[in-house]
Structure 1
Amino acid sequence: MTLHAPPPPADEAANSQRQRILLVTGVLGAGKTTALRALEDLGWETIDNFPIRLLERLLDRGEEAPKSGRELSENVAIGFDSRTRGFDPKAVVELVKRLSQREDLELTTLFLDCDGPELERRYNETRRRHHLAADMPVSAGIAAEREVMESLRRWADLVVNTTRFSANALQQAMREQFAPEAGPALTLTITSFGFAKGMPPVADFVFDMRFLDNPHWDKVLRPMTGKEAPIGEFIRRDPAFDEAFSRIRDLLLQLIPRFASQGKAYVHIAFGCTGGRHRSVFMAEQMGAALRASGFSPTILHRNLGSRAADLVERGAAQ
């Protein structure tokens, strides 16, 4: 990836109040659609195949949005390419120059490029016709488009060559370059459940707590749940608890940020025991507290905590 970044603004405070506009363009087949999808996942408002000559009108209407209720987002990505009717790269450059003078905008142009042989391979793979090739080989259309787009490529603030990028690699590059400082938070869910009621249908991590001593066999503790202090005290006395809890916590603290860096929006962690009322509930609560202390905001759900059959399940289980 080749980046030609503009110099940082002199007044950071003023810059933070400006609307961020990202123009996404480049040669066809270089990954514009993939880039826009990645930006949308990052919380940007995205508009694809936009008639770029109407950009100034769109932004002016955005200024009047509080009256009409159609305000543009703080971060807006606008995609366009050589197929746009009346497309004129020189006119685009002049438009960008003019808009860059506006104090209410932070405007950046991203150009996606790709080597000719790789573009030919992608066209052959998708069996799409290049709009400038007509009855000529696709290589002729690619060459013609590259010539048309060259002035815009030279002007662009950022140039990304996607020749060796898979779709996932391009998405990762977009996340690294354009993720807002306070981007969309990872949605973290911790669930307790009873194995006798079935596994959670979707979970990234499943931990089996049936190796711990079972409070069910204590008649005093049986009616309680893992959210009550006596159950917690009972489980903590198990010699295996402290080390197991520490290892699971450290594993999650290592892997959850990795999931976030790869663009995963949801992570589901499940703790199971036989009936889903004691050990799994206590572990879910304790792990939630540990992750909150480390800066995460997990949602905790107890799937079988109110199950009437839980006691019968525990009673019939061989521990």
Structure 2
Amino acid sequence: MNFIIVTGMSGAGKSSAIKFFEDMGYYCVDNLPPTLIGNFATLITQQQESLNKVVLGIDIRGGILFEDLFSSLHELKAEGHTYEIVFLDCGDTELVKRYKETRRLHPLARNERIEEGIQKEREILKEIKSKAHHIIDTSYMLPKDTKEVLYKMYSEQKAFHSLMITIVSFGFKYGMPIDADLVFDVRFTPNPYYIPEMRPYTGNDDIIKDYVLQFEVTQLFLNKLKDMISFLVPNYMQEGKNQLVIAIGCTGGKHRSVTIANALYKYLQDEGHSVIIQHRDIDKDSKRGK
């Protein structure tokens, strides 16, 4: 029997992930004390209708019981079962924002600041993150984006043996994405922000797309970028990498970076890759240069 262990940072979306697995037909148990994993595996294998799609949600809510996780997983493997660990991660800034928006307390910061609880949790989860088979950073993802990633990984009961590519457009004035593997600066391309009638639009609109892509320098860069990514992806896969974050940045993340990110996204989709796209800063301040 194969188990999927869903764990990660509190607030990173574990509950949503488990609900998605339920919708996919998996039998899910959330917050199972790790010390009971072996007993649970024995119980379900004795059922007349043996389950073959099981998800276990494990996190630090189990307190000191979380320390039993690795010995329980070793026991699981010794009994002939297999497992994969899916670790949901998220940046500190976004986690704090989510806790403040929901007005929830961090489980490790009952009488402390949220930031202190997050750092304690990172230290506790450091080892399991290093042993995770898949790490999904949800910092800039909506719940539907996380579901799309999981669907591509586990739909049709097939293990995920590909590379999940995330393309993020962003504005340098808001800071670079901290989880980016590759960062490309497209501020050298002509800027539609300085044409007043184009300023209110974004790279998702044809007027901006047509303007940015009409220039030879943009096309030359885009072709070289496609060639580079096409070279890198199979080599990353061979090395065992399962997630690649490509960040495309301009000044404000509204015009040029969005256009080029969309073009790269379409190219990778047409090539059959598993890819999602996020425009991080597209709705931010539109009064300054883009």
TM-score of the two chains, using structure 2 as the length reference: 0.52
The percentage of aligned residue pairs carrying the same residue is 27
Match of 1:236 in 2: none
Structural mapping, 1:52-91, within 5 Å: 52-66=34-48, 71-89=49-67, 91=68
Structure 1: give runs of 5+ residues left out of the alignment.
1-18, 183-319
**Contact kept in structure 1, 2:41 and 2:76, CA below 8 Å:** no
SS in 2 for 1:77: strand
Structural mapping, 1:212-251, within 5 Å: none
SS in 1 for 2:65: coil
Over the aligned positions, Cα root-mean-square deviation in angstroms equals 2.2
Structure 2: give runs of 5+ residues left out of the alignment.
159-290
Match of 1:177 in 2: 153
From 121, 135, 154, the counterpart of 2:111 = 135
From 25, 39, 53, the counterpart of 2:7 = 25
SS in 1 for 2:10: coil
SS in 1 for 2:85: strand
**Contact kept in structure 2, 1:22 and 1:78, CA below 8 Å:** yes
SS in 2 for 1:65: coil
**Contact kept in structure 2, 1:42 and 1:180, CA below 8 Å:** no
Aligned length: 161
Shift of 1:161: 1.1
Match of 2:199 in 1: none
Q: Distance in 1 between matches of 2:88 and 2:3?
A: 16
Shift of 1:181: 4.2
The yes-or-no answer on 1:109 pairing with 2:85 is yes
TM-score of the two chains, using structure 1 as the length reference: 0.47
**Contact kept in structure 1, 2:45 and 2:51, CA below 8 Å:** no
Shift of 1:52: 1.8
The amino acid across from 1:101 in the alignment is A
SS in 2 for 1:84: helix
Q: Distance in 2 between matches of 1:84 and 1:173?
A: 27
Residues 194-218 of structure 1 show CA distances to partners (whole Å, capped at 9, x for unaligned) of: xxxxxxxxxxxxxxxxxxxxxxxxx
Distance 1:98-1:123 versus aligned 2 partners, 3 A rule: same
Q: Distance in 1 between matches of 2:143 and 2:95?
A: 14
Shift of 1:97: 2.5
Residues 240-268 of structure 1 show CA distances to partners (whole Å, capped at 9, x for unaligned) of: xxxxxxxxxxxxxxxxxxxxxxxxxxxxx
Match of 2:72 in 1: 95
Shift of 1:85: 4.2
